[in-house]
Amino acid sequence: MNIENHPCFNPDACKSYGRVHLPVAPRCNIQCNFCNRKFDCVNESRPGVSSGILSPYQAMEYLKKVMAAKKNISVVGIAGPGDPFANPEETLDTIKMVNETWPDMLLCLATNGLNLPDYLDEVAKVNVSHVSITVNAVDPVIGEKIYAWVRTGKKSLSPEKGARLLLERQMESIKGLKERGIIVKVNTIVLPGINDHHVTRIAERMSQMGVDLLNCMPYYPNEGSNFSHLKEPSKQEIAKIQARAKKYIPQMMHCKRCRADAVGMLDDAPDMSLLNSLQDCATLKEPTAVEIPETIPGAEKITGTTGILPYVAIATREGVLINQHLGEATFLSIYDINKDTPTLIEHREMPEPGQKEFRWNAMAQKLADCHLILVSGVGNSPKRILTDKGYQILMVEGLIDEILMAVKNKQNMNHLIKREPFRCDASCSGAGMGCM
């Protein structure tokens, strides 16, 4: 294993070697004010974005395709689109399988560090060579401006308490990684007016802890986030910050702010054939998966006595994928599946968020001609209310046409059913990443 062949940690390696990120970690345990958890847009190139989510089995099938197409891959990493240790089982299972199949491959993780202390031994055991930790403040007073909430276990902490706990865990993570001989890079998102004046202090602290590299990443404007009003720092501003930080710790100067499904060399344009392969692999069914009945659950209730299927309501962002949490949907797409091919009837406006149970009761009235609702996520309260009123809700992910044809033809949908990342409480209205 040549640790110099990591294109992110070694600027010379990026000219010859590539990396692949496996998007097996969708859940996140913190809500950053600069982040919007819409992670499936194929048109954005930034951390936290992926064109699909893979299981460990699917990730291995995808990796085989990548290795066949790209002969210079030296690093396999997991960088979300959530946090690897908010998804520890999927992360460690994937890394373990990669290590067993390609023992000479460099293994890399990118994390916020909150849950990492509990898995330090496992990370070392599966031969992870490089870890990046995002540290945006070493002063909790600044940190509480950056994070909306931090979740530990099932408890969500306020910005003040959350920032303090996050910093403690990050310092513990860095110390533990260095004790185990793992190379550590720290990413700091430079947020104008929030922490840009604080980066030098971060650099000094990271140097004292033995961190190998600091990456000062300019904030990427993210529509829908709490910091969407902030402007991206200029190259000149970042250069000045890097120059001050360089006095304490080596700087990464060639970061490309990679997607969670990035593949190839850092300067490569997105390989659409491999992104399509990723999406194809996301539909693969694991050979040992438990079969479900050939019809979708409750299909007998959907068809009714006439044999004519009522309309289907779909939560979608762009009209191609079922990829939206019901709590986020301001409209639902209504489809008729009684024709040869499913037909879009209309985009029907839904009640505004923030009305709690009244919203779900009002939604039930608006969907009187529908009995099936397809979403990527749903909270307990709307699920209970809508189910009590006779609606069936399925959590699925994938192409609208493919899923509607499966519904229409009563096909097995095991590979399309989305497993709920965690049980939300009654107030959930988020993208399955936590309630805000």
Residues making up the chain, counted from first to last: 436
pLDDT score recorded for residue 133: 95
Let me know whether 343 and 224 are in one domain: no
The pTM score is 0.64
- Measure the CA–CA gap between 341 and 114, rounded to whole angstroms: 47
Whether 426 maps to a domain, the answer reads no
Whether 31 maps to a domain, the answer reads yes
- Measure the CA–CA gap between 263 and 346, rounded to whole angstroms: 37
DSSP string computed for 232-286:
PPPHHHHHHHHHHHTTTS-B--------TT-EESTTPPP-HHHHHHHHHHTTPPP
Buried b (16+ CB within 10 A) or exposed e, 165-193: bbbebbbebbebbbeeebbbbbbbbbbbe
Spell out the residues 6+ positions from residue 388 whose beta carbon is closer than 8 angstroms to its own.
Answer: none
Let me know whether 184 and 333 are in one domain: no
Instruction: Decide if 36 contacts 98 (C-beta within 8 A).
Output: no
Residue 213, H or E segment:
strand 213-218
Tens-binned pLDDT, residue by residue, of the chain (436 aa):
566 777 777 777 767 788 888 999 888 889 888 887 664 444 344 566 677 788 899 999 989 998 888 888 888 999 888 899 999 999 999 999 999 999 988 999 999 999 999 999 999 999 999 999 999 999 999 999 999 889 888 788 889 999 999 999 999 999 999 999 999 999 999 999 999 999 999 999 999 999 999 999 888 887 777 888 888 889 999 999 999 999 999 998 777 677 778 876 655 666 667 777 777 787 777 664 333 334 444 444 444 434 456 799 999 988 888 988 998 899 999 999 888 888 998 999 998 877 678 888 889 888 988 889 999 888 888 898 898 888 899 998 888 988 898 888 877 666 666 554 433 444 444 444 433 3
Q: In what order do the strands lie in the sheet with 213-218?
A: 213-218, 183-190, 130-134, 106-111, 73-78, 18-21, 263-264
pLDDT score recorded for residue 307: 47
Let me know whether 317 and 348 are in one domain: yes
Let me know whether 263 and 320 are in one domain: no
Number of domains in the chain: 2
Report the CATH number at residue 57: 3.20.20.70
Let me know whether 184 and 324 are in one domain: no
Q: Write the Ramachandran bin of 303: left for phi over 0, alpha for psi from -120 to 50, otherwise beta.
A: alpha
Beta-carbon neighbour count of residue 322 at 10 Å? 24
Report the CATH number at residue 329: 3.30.420.130
End-to-end CA distance of the chain: 43
Whether 286 maps to a domain, the answer reads no
- How distant, in Å, are the alpha carbons of 122, 263, 276, 398 from that of 66? 26, 8, 11, 21
Q: Tell me, what DSSP letter sits at residue 318?
A: S
Let me know whether 262 and 307 are in one domain: no
Let me know whether 274 and 374 are in one domain: no
Q: Tell me, what DSSP letter sits at residue 325?
A: B
In the structure encoding, which two tokens stand for residue 124, read together?
Answer: 């070392």
- Measure the CA–CA gap between 27 and 23, rounded to whole angstroms: 11
Beta strand 18-21 pairing with 73-78: parallel
Q: Residue 236 class from Cβ within 10 Å (0-12 exposed, 13-18 middle, 19+ buried)?
A: exposed
Let me know whether 328 and 401 are in one domain: yes
Beta strands in 258-388 (DSSP E): 263-264, 311-314, 321-322, 331-336, 343-349, 370-375
Closest of 417, 406, 394, 397 to residue 341, by C-alpha: 406
Whether 237 maps to a domain, the answer reads yes
Whether 234 maps to a domain, the answer reads yes
The domain containing residue 274 runs over which residues?
A: 3-281
pLDDT score recorded for residue 227: 85
Domain end residue (candidates: 253, 281, 309): 281
In the structure encoding, which two tokens stand for residue 329, read together?
Answer: 């949907």
pLDDT score recorded for residue 40: 47
- How high is the mean pLDDT of the chain? 82
φ, ψ for residue 116, nearest 5 deg: -60, -35
pLDDT score recorded for residue 225: 79
